[in-house]
A and B are shown apart, each in its own frame.
Chain A
Amino acid sequence: MTDTTRTIDPVDPAGSTGTTRVATPWEGLVTSALLGTERRTPPAEILAPGKEAPAALLDAAALHTVRRRAGLLPARAAARPEPAAHDGRARLPEAAGRRLRQLLADRSGPSGGGGRRGAAPDLTELLPQWLAAANEHGYRVPAAVLPALLDAARARTDLRPQALTFAGPRGLWLARLNPEWKFALRGASGGALLPDPRDGEAVRLLWEEGLFAERVALLAAVRAQDAEASRALLASTWSTERAEDRLMFLDSLRTGLSGADEPFLDRALSDRSRNVRHTAAELLSALPGSALAGRMAARAATCVSMDRTGGGQVITVEAPHECDADMQRDGVVPAPPAGRGERSWWLGQLVEAAPLDTWPARLGGRTPEEIVALPVLDDWADELHAAWCRAAVRQRDARWSLVLLGSPAASPAAGPGTSSLAERAKLLATLPPAERASWVASFIAAHGLSEAFQLLGVCAVPWAEPLGRAVVDALDIARDAGSYPWSFSGVMGLAERCLDPAEASRLELLTAAQDEPEDASPGAGGYWSEAFRRLVSTLRLRASMLAELDGLDGLNSPNGPDDPGRLAELTEPAAP
């Protein structure tokens, strides 16, 4: 009877993988069945008089099968995985958990593919906000949603940093078991994998033996704690790193760049790799106090001066005549791109790398406002202003940025700095959030929405009130002008995600279908009302989303706040 007590094994029901291969009665049956009873007579003991061999064989096999199944034993347990690290974050409020599952269930994107969007909110677009808010609260991920969350992050790289932070140690633990989620292991936010930055021994070990991505993440983590230690770490292996790795490590110094980084960057100026040299020079020029910035200031100053012949109210430019070895060492690229003169190319690089406070002193003590307003001889104005724009962005100089942006009401083409929306957006990003919002609000009030998309993209979420008002008013005007709402679908989408939810009640008025103006596009009114309804419902949804994460949901429950169960939930310790 030993052959009936088998270990359960779905691949090999008869358990023939055992080490001893004795011809059991069952194996006799199998052999006979495989070859056919005409070639191999079944074992004699199963044959019965008056019964054909195949039927007798099937009878015996049926008996054996049922007996085997009835006597199955469990298999031997394999080595158990190391349990996931404890996650001490606070438990997600129940309503917020429901919302997350709803957002994740919708993530496969709007059905119908590119059709009209209807009046219902686009839930997929709210997931990034939900994750960011949940992480701010410091909530722990509910384990059951982890697979859907990791799948979502796999499909959308923009979700990954927030999704992986939220997924926490349990998510990382799970990702190690499924090759489809290996992105989570190489991700920059593999925070849970990294040793404590203060644990010198563990840091050194990972730095010397880790994978490249782990080392980049480690460097960033150490730098956030102790910039000096991170430079020492980098210097310890610098000469043996590959050129492309040196470039990436150097690039990571961009975060938290300070004067203390100068000696290291100075050494990198003589690196073997041209890209490394160039990046080092760019970083040094973003430090107005650095020696390189000083050298660039001296070079730039010789090129730009007040014209003494014209009464001193005009800037004159004398572009460099050569790009010498010292300039090249300081990161000036000698060969211009196709279609550009080499002297103006060199000038641009010098001015861009010179500290902006060089100019008031150099140009007669004038303020940035006055300098930008000065005429420039010989058509050098565009070149010079463009270089100042790049300098303002690189040095994150809000004063110069604002001056170079000019008045928001003026036509973009007439502005002092640049008419490129992408560059204007970069200049805007250096302004404090409130100034940024009010500048863009005035811009929209003057020029409408058609060019505002990129500028809106750099504004802080939720939009400050003047900006929100300006956008809503401009949408209202566009509707009255009779165009279709999908001409503004980019801005509409942004508004759904960025408008302050408190605006919802004001917007409610706009959702009503209105009489169409005579020259309106046919049917536009209905589509507008639909678009506004979607905007309102999305704002409402965002408001409840955030309230749920604040744990406020329970206050409105039918049981009321005096229910002891509810109270326990409400008083759960908040995230650290």
Chain B
Amino acid sequence: MGRSNVVDMNQTGVRWTTEQVLALAPDEASRKAGNKLGTAGPWSEAGSGSAGAVWGLCKGSGGKPYQTIVDTTGPAYKCSCPSRKFPCKHALGLLLLWSADERSVPETAEEPGWAGEWLEGRRKRGEERPAGEAGAAGSGKPADPEAARRRAERRAARISAGATELEQRLTDLLHGGLASAEQSGYGLWEETAARMVDAQAPGLAGRVRELGAIPGSGAGWPVRLLEESALLHLLTTAWLGRDRLPEPLATTVRTRIGLPSPAGGPPVRDHWLVLAQDDSSDGKLVTRRIRLYGRDSGRSALLLAFGAAGRSPQLGLPVGLMIEAEITPHGGAGQLRADWGRQFGAPAPVPGPPPGGSTTAAIEAYGAALRADPWLDAWPVTLTDVIPVPAPGGGWQLADADGESALPLTDSALSRPGLWKLAALSGGGPVTVFGECGHRGFHPLAAWAEEIPGPVPLT
């Protein structure tokens, strides 16, 4: 196997790329600090084990060097430094060195004592952990199901009150006319959003805030405002009449309202392609979105992880690797969200893009997905052989290499550096692009080009 051209599938695994390591950094400062430590200079006794462990001693400003250990199969980190960043710059630096320099971090059979204890503990826990349990937030559940049921009922009642109030506001808005929404300003929406937070319906609050940003947001805003108001109306109506909905759709409504939907489905074991990972922050909370594609099941999945501002969410998967693992899907019709479960074996590079199609097939896939979840804004798809084209008027589109159809890029994609990476990869020629296709356009997340083996992240 060691002599073949295909990637080793044994425990040796592959060393990650620089991007894969940097994607784990909690913030820009950590990324820079880690980068500085990604050279052989400050490290000693560095090594890596066969089961994905990496360790090293990093000389800091003090006398005693920090002990840094990473289990790349998690990934999980341990460092004796006092930093509250997670992973800390030492872990990032060590991984960078490991990714770039096989001489400085050689593979050895012997783990030093200070690293072995922690790694051994992790291995033990991994074996003991039953399948499907990992990641489920169920461990802290109260023992009293009756009290839990009463709490849930109280919350549902509060949400219903909020939904009724919101419905009234929407009716008032339509009664007085959308034109007045431009004058009333953002304050009214902000206040309504706060009322929805009080009603414990964060999903409604988020939609209300987005409504507030529409008035005066450029040509055609009244149409967009009417569309979004109508969908919000659809959601509140659906909530108030949820008893009459079929179960999967009712779950979707609950999820859209903002109620936690526990991962409950049977675990799906597959070779998951890690296609994209990006973080967004609202100032208080960092939300990480990791997009997966199952090689064997053909299933798309979305992992969400959260962290307090300045801290990287615990879960981080290296983009461009394929990992055999179990995921547990959340309930609801047309929902992609899942929890990450047990992993099997070492990751391998992503063998290629998920099966894709034309721009027409992509927009049709979005249309089909709307049937299960009418509030869906976009759906993950792969476009095969498309060319990024600057569109008249300043935008960009992805045009079929053969044919006259194209998908415009979303506004948010236009302002990201990923756009230029995509253009550079293409050079005017066809590329394969994974991303999300929706009514606002296409949002590219990863690309493959000729001669470039792995997906290039565009986030």
Contact = CB atoms under 8 A, between A and B. Distances in A.
A414 B423 CA distance: 62
A274 interface: no
Nearest to A540: B40
A427 B180 CA distance: 78
A52 interface: yes
Interface string A550-568: 0001001111001111000
B231 A33 contact: no
Contacts of A65: 227, 230-231
Contact of A537 (B42, B170, B176, B428): B42
Contacts of B397: 75, 77-78
A76 B223 contact: no
A199 to B, nearest CB: 24
B175 A38 contact: yes
B177 interface: yes
Nearest to B409: A10
B367 A69 contact: yes
Interface in B30-71: 31-33, 35-42, 59, 61
Contacts of A83: 427-429
A35 B420 CA distance: 42
Nearest to A541: B39
Nearest to A171: B424
Interface in B329-364: 359-360, 363
B390 A78 contact: yes
Nearest to A565: B5
B424 A174 contact: yes
B96 to A, nearest CB: 7
Contacts of B179: 34-36
Contacts of A144: 421, 424-425, 452, 456
A121 interface: yes
Interface string A33-60: 1111111000000000000111101110
A16 interface: yes
A558 B41 contact: no
A76 B405 contact: yes
A74 interface: yes
A14 B408 contact: no
A16 B234 CA distance: 24
Contacts of B363: 8, 72-74
B427 A173 contact: yes
Nearest to B59: A119
Interface stretch (B97-105, B134-142, B284-292): B97-105
B100 A95 contact: yes
A36 B395 CA distance: 33
A298 interface: no
Interface in A8-36: 8-14, 16, 29-30, 33-36
A61 B360 contact: no
A223 interface: no
A37 B171 CA distance: 10
A80 interface: yes
Interface string A380-393: 00000000000000
A282 B436 CA distance: 64
A111 B33 contact: yes
Given A83-B428, A105-B22, A174-B423, A10 B42 contact: no
Nearest to B439: A69
Given A8-B407, A54-B170, A98 B222 contact: no
A519 to B, nearest CB: 25
Contacts of B3: 562-564
A179 B331 CA distance: 47
Contact count band on B: 35 or more
Interface string B368-410: 1011001000000000000101111001010110011111101
B408 A8 contact: yes
B103 A556 contact: yes
Contacts of A121: 36, 39, 41
A536 B438 CA distance: 53
A58 B229 contact: yes
Contact of B371 (A55, A70, A91): A70
A136 interface: no
B411 interface: yes
B165 interface: no
B19 interface: yes
Contacts of B220: 11-14, 16
A544 B97 CA distance: 12
Nearest to B36: A120
Interface in B415-446: 417, 420-421, 423-425, 427-429, 438-441
Given A33-B226, A78-B389, A78-B390, A52 B31 contact: no
B187 interface: no
B122 interface: no
Contacts of A562: 3
Contacts of B406: 74-78
A533 interface: yes
Interface in B61-84: 61
Interface in A411-430: none
Chain A CB count within 10 A is highest, among B12, B33, B96, B405, for: B405
Given A10-B410, A58-B229, A147 B390 contact: no
A507 interface: no
A83 B170 CA distance: 50
A571 to B, nearest CB: 15
A10 B219 CA distance: 10
B174 interface: yes
B17 A118 contact: no
A173 B218 CA distance: 32
A494 to B, nearest CB: 19
Given A558-B102, A564-B5, A106 B36 contact: yes
Contact of B366 (A58, A72, A178): A72
A62 B177 contact: no
B151 interface: no
A102 B399 contact: no
Contacts of A35: 177, 179
Interface string A504-548: 000000000000000000000000000001101110110010000
A170 B425 CA distance: 9
Given A76-B406, A98-B99, A119 B175 contact: no
Nearest to B386: A77
B459 interface: no
A11 B223 CA distance: 10
Nearest to B219: A11
A447 interface: no
B441 A8 contact: yes
Nearest to A109: B32
A4 to B, nearest CB: 11
Interface string A424-442: 0000000000000000000
Given A13-B439, A120-B42, A74 B427 contact: no
A558 B371 contact: no
A565 B101 CA distance: 19
B18 interface: yes
Contacts of B269: none
A325 interface: no
Contacts of A13: 220, 223-224, 227, 439
A182 interface: no
A183 B100 CA distance: 32
A144 B31 CA distance: 19
8 contacts: A33-B178, A34-B226, A36-B177, A61-B230, A65-B227, A69-B438, A74-B363, A544-B101
Interface of B: 2-5, 12, 17-19, 22, 29, 31-33, 35-42, 59, 61, 96, 99-103, 107, 167, 170-180, 218-220, 222-224, 226-227, 229-231, 233-234, 237, 359-360, 363, 366-368, 370-371, 374, 387, 389-392, 395, 397, 399-400, 403-408, 410-411, 417, 420-421, 423-425, 427-429, 438-441, 449, 451-452, 456
Given A9-B408, A77-B403, 8 more contacts: A14-B223, A35-B177, A36-B178, A72-B439, A174-B423, A174-B424, A177-B423, A537-B39
